[in-house]
Chains A and B, each alone.
Chain A
Amino acid sequence: MTFWLTQIFNGISYGAIVFLLAMGLSLIFGVMKVINVTHGTYFLVGAYFGLTTLKQTGNFFLAILIGGIAIAIMGIVIERVFLRRLQGNDLGQVLITMGFVLVLQDAILVIWGPDPVSMDAPKFLASTGRIGGFSFPMYRLFLIVFAAVTAVALWFFESRTKVGSSVRAAVDDVEMAGGMGVNVPVVFSLVFGLGSFLAGMSGVLAAPWLGIQAGLDFEILPFAFVAIIVGGMGSLKGAVVASLLVGIIDNLGKTFFPEFAYFTLFLPMAVILAIRPSGLFGRAM
């Protein structure tokens, strides 16, 4: 029983990080139809920004915020200056995001060096919690709560605010939204900024748990892609459900079929792709 609890809890907490990363990817794809390969690298650069902030101020929560904001600014600049010119050129947009991956990876080497670094969470989050015979890392619980709060906030933003409804309209149909008086360029910047913010923030959040090291970007990115492919691009509900699935399946897969880690994750994805290319909650194409 405890065994199962532990595995499911671990799965959910991993799903929480995957959700924060995937949600940004999903929004960006949903609205702008950009496959943003740089997203994992945003995650990593965000972690480095958070690290620098933490070193300067000692405030972990400020680090999360700064990590997010720095990447949001970077994302908006990239969107405004580069991606916007390539609207409608799907392939060009993907290729250019790959270009930014390489440039940013190199920038990391230059600015922060090749050293692997770790980041400490505040003391009260670094302990181990206990309920009966079930013990769990506090930090993982924190991640789950944080992701849940973010999901609720995003849901509120999407369904209850005017800006949010423009975003939703843009997900459904950009041209139509433009016709209805939505300021599409602003929505694009907003969405890209928000998506990048989530990526940067999740990088900082993951740092105390995964450490920060070159290569982390491409180690975590596949999970986010699986989540948005399974969940459906642009769907908040889809991202929540699929991220949890990814977390739990990955956990149980590694537990029971360690030789087929990754495959246990990719196979369901392939099956869903074959049956429903738009994902569980995506709009049919």
Chain B
Amino acid sequence: MIRKRIVFLVVPLAFTLAALLAAGPALAAKGPIKIGLLTSKKGVLAKHGSDQMNALKVFREKFGDKVAGRDVKFFIEDNESKVALAVTRVRKMLTRDKVHIAMGGLFGSTGYAIAPLADRYKTPILIWSCPDDISKRKRKKYAITYFSCSQPMHAFAHWVRTAMPNIKKVITIGPDYAFGYESTGGFQQVFEDMGGKVIQKMYMPINTVDYGPYIGKLRKDADALFLTLAAAQGLRLPKQLKEAGLANKYVILGNGTNTDEFVIDAQGDEVLGWISALIYSADIQTKDNQDFVKAFVKHAKKDPGYYAEGYYGGLRLIYKAIEVVNGNVEDKDKFFAALKNLKVAKGMPAGPRASDGHGTFKMNVYVRMVMKDETGKKRNKVLAVIPNVSQFWNYKPDEFMKKPPYSRDYPPCKNCAK
């Protein structure tokens, strides 16, 4: 009979075990500097995550696990390509690992989901994905972004209007979530301000399998398509455009993620001639970048894309900020202020960065075209560099922020009706 009672004790025992397992080591007075890194090792973004992890290897090889005289320890968490899980994982970094700073986020929406945690736990987060509003209308006290999704697209639209004046009417296609709205919105805003017309806008679920219905609806009177493709879309839409016989019907413009190096080797020749813009291309001819590419290829056996450079660059910014505060990351306000006001001229593969005072950085935007090099490999050849681009482009920040954020319905499509 006593044994029965023992049996019932199994449950509390399990709980105790749970707590023991969960109970963490006490925080040492001044141990290493702890950096939390969020990535995705499984699911639709597994490849992006593996590029990031290789970039981390390159970074550690070059800069080591030591900065400003203190050791650095990395805490890597995998959110399995799920935004909701990112919240849980980042919260773990902040409460258990007690990281001094966290970086990460692959979907634009991840940024919006994790940003509030920065303020809640008063720990800086460098949000790696590019949620527009975190550096604009929904500023956080302790979160900044690596860049803003619409930022390269403003510049790109300007470039298109200037360099390709024959492109007047454009159809936009993008994934149906924050990243798609912000990329499309940024392009449309400047493109239309400069006299161009967006005549059709389409947003589609990111996990769309068959694009047939959308392709069948494309208006024939457009000069170009502006595409924003995320995850597997970059693999499917180009193929399906080609098989519909439309690959040469329109000039294809778009976000650099369309043909980013994470997917370009898997894409067919149908993407040749596609023009896109982003904050990086493996083809940038500076020494900083060529060194980075060489080191990256050694680990990954392929070129780095913006997912790789972004991780490397983000870590570089974090190290710089640590140097500015002489390793005293425990003073979070000072540390974050240093990060927020950073100006890095050298050593970044994608070129200089300078704080814009609004929660993100000014940087170069690269206009690239997919071409084959002499070995027959597809590359994002740089056509133009637009230097020092602000997230507000040439608009006045205050006026810009008075307008609604880019969304499914904004900017409205004035020229969509036939």
Contacts and interface: CB of A to CB of B under 8 A. Distances in A.
Asked if the two chains touch in their complex, CB atoms less than 8 Å apart, one says: yes
Interface of A: 3, 6-7, 10-11, 13-14, 105-106, 109, 113-118, 120, 126, 128, 135, 137-140, 208-211, 213-216, 219-220, 223, 250-255, 258, 261-262
On chain B, which size bracket covers the interface?
A: 35 or more
A78 to B, nearest CB: 22
B216 A6 contact: yes
Given A114-B50, A251-B212, A210 B243 contact: no
B376 interface: no
B334 interface: no
11 contacts: A116-B266, A126-B243, A209-B243, A211-B235, A213-B231, A213-B232, A214-B42, A219-B209, A251-B210, A258-B203, A261-B204
Interface string B39-65: 001111011011000000000000000
B213 A254 contact: yes
A258 B239 contact: no
B245 interface: yes
B236 A258 contact: no
B43 A214 contact: yes
Nearest to A108: B46
Given A7-B213, A214-B44, A261-B205, A114 B49 contact: yes
B214 interface: yes
A120 B266 CA distance: 10
Nearest to A251: B213
A179 B44 CA distance: 48
Contact of A209 (B47, B231, B239): B239
A128 B249 CA distance: 13
A14 B212 contact: yes
A253 B240 CA distance: 19
B245 A128 contact: yes
Nearest to B267: A118
Contacts of A114: 41, 46-47, 49-50
A21 B378 CA distance: 34
Contacts of B265: 115
A208 B216 contact: no
Interface of B: 41-44, 46-47, 49-50, 81, 202-205, 207-210, 212-214, 216-217, 231-232, 234-236, 239-240, 243-245, 262-263, 265-268
Contacts of B208: 261
Contacts of B207: 215, 219
A130 to B, nearest CB: 8
Given A118-B266, A213-B44, A140 B243 contact: yes
Nearest to B210: A14
B209 A220 contact: yes
B47 A116 contact: yes
Nearest to B240: A209
A215 B43 CA distance: 5
A117 B44 CA distance: 12
A118 B239 contact: yes
Nearest to A135: B245
Contact of A210 (B50, B209, B216): B209
A120 B269 CA distance: 11
Contacts of B268: 118, 120
Nearest to A216: B232
A211 B203 contact: no
Which of B41, B210, B262, B268 has the largest count of A CB atoms less than 10 A from its CB?
B210
Nearest to A261: B205
A215 B245 contact: no
Given A116-B266, A211-B266, A139 B243 contact: yes
B210 A10 contact: yes
A210 B235 CA distance: 7
A9 to B, nearest CB: 8
A195 to B, nearest CB: 21
Contacts of B204: 254, 258, 261
Given A215-B44, A251-B213, 19 more contacts: A6-B212, A7-B212, A10-B212, A10-B213, A109-B46, A114-B47, A114-B49, A115-B266, A116-B234, A120-B268, A137-B243, A139-B243, A209-B236, A209-B243, A214-B46, A214-B47, A251-B210, A251-B216, A254-B214
Contacts of A11: 212-213
A187 to B, nearest CB: 33
A83 B399 CA distance: 64
A99 to B, nearest CB: 16
Contacts of A109: 41-42, 46
A2 to B, nearest CB: 9
B243 A128 contact: yes
Nearest to B302: A115
Nearest to A247: B210
Contacts of A105: 42
Contacts of A252: 213
> Which 8 residue pairs of A and B lie closest in terms of their CB atoms, listed nearest first?
A10-B212, A211-B235, A137-B243, A114-B46, A215-B44, A254-B213, A128-B245, A114-B47
Contacts of B240: 137, 209
